[in-house]
Amino acid sequence: MNPLIVVTGATKGIGRAVVETFMTGGYDAVVCARSEEDLSRMSEELTELMETLSDDPDERPKLHTLQADVSKRADLDRFVHFVHSLERPVDVLVNNAGVFLPGQIHNEAEGTLETQMETNLYSVYHLTRGLLSGMMERQRGHIFMMGSTASITAYPNGGSYCISKFALMGLTKVLREELKPHGVKVTILLPGATLTNSWAGTNLPESRFMEAEDVASVIWSACHLSAGAVVEEILLRPQLGDIK
């Protein structure tokens, strides 16, 4: 049986790159996203890609999809139930779903903090709790958090986004300490500007950005170290530095 990866916010950007990288490497994937249309398109495209890997349909990695907005607790619980319904051990969890709303604490719109905390922090907390027990029982598994350079650097127009990502760093550190004796690895990614939909409409050249595949490749590498080694934090920036 193929190993299993779970990815949130999986149809675009880094999430999509992670799913494609791991499925190409022989993993089955369970994913969610807010758009059913995006999930259907992704499923069709990855089915075609997997057909190039093997002539035997039974040997091809499988993709399982569910429409869910993980910022909504009912949707998140439904996704946890969906993963459990497969009756498969989860080998890798990538908490990728996130939202960026620029602004400053003193003038950002009411509700900006709540929206970003619900997506960038609370969803990670509840999904991880929902899938963690199986990893602890098996003494095996790897959890990845999608932080940001905003997890360690305060940006003037970062406002509540920075708050949510700093909090995610704290969650990661606590979880890492808790899971050390249980054989479960915890890693936070701290990517700088990556060319995804978050930067749609920018006038900056592509050379100022990393590619989503760069982040996916680093996750793959970190996931395949020996059992006795873990990369706790991965800081990636564009070669030309942060965009300020």
Question: What is the CATH number for 92?
Answer: 3.40.50.720
Q: Which residue has the tokens 């002539």?
A: 55
129 occurs within a structural domain: yes
Q: How many helical (H) and strand (E) elements, i.e. helices and strands, does the chain have? A: 7, 7
**DSSP for residue 153:** S
Label residue 9 exposed, middle or buried (CB < 10 Å: 0-12, 13-18, 19+).
buried
> What pTM was computed for the model?
0.94
113 Cα distance to chain centroid: 20
200 occurs within a structural domain: yes
**Into how many domains does the chain fold?**
1
125 occurs within a structural domain: yes
Strand segments (E) across the chain: 4-8, 28-33, 63-67, 92-95, 142-146, 185-191, 233-236
185 occurs within a structural domain: yes
pLDDT at 131: 98
Tell me which residue range forms the domain holding 147.
4-236
For the four alpha carbons of 136, 140, 146 and 152, in that order, the dihedral sign comes to: positive
241 occurs within a structural domain: no
133 occurs within a structural domain: yes
156 occurs within a structural domain: yes
* pLDDT string in tens for the chain (244-residue length): 899 999 999 999 999 999 999 999 999 999 999 999 999 999 999 999 999 988 888 889 999 999 999 999 999 999 999 999 999 999 999 999 999 999 999 999 999 999 999 999 999 999 999 999 999 999 999 999 999 999 999 988 899 999 999 999 999 999 999 999 999 999 999 998 776 766 666 777 767 788 899 999 999 999 999 999 999 999 998 888 877 6
80 occurs within a structural domain: yes
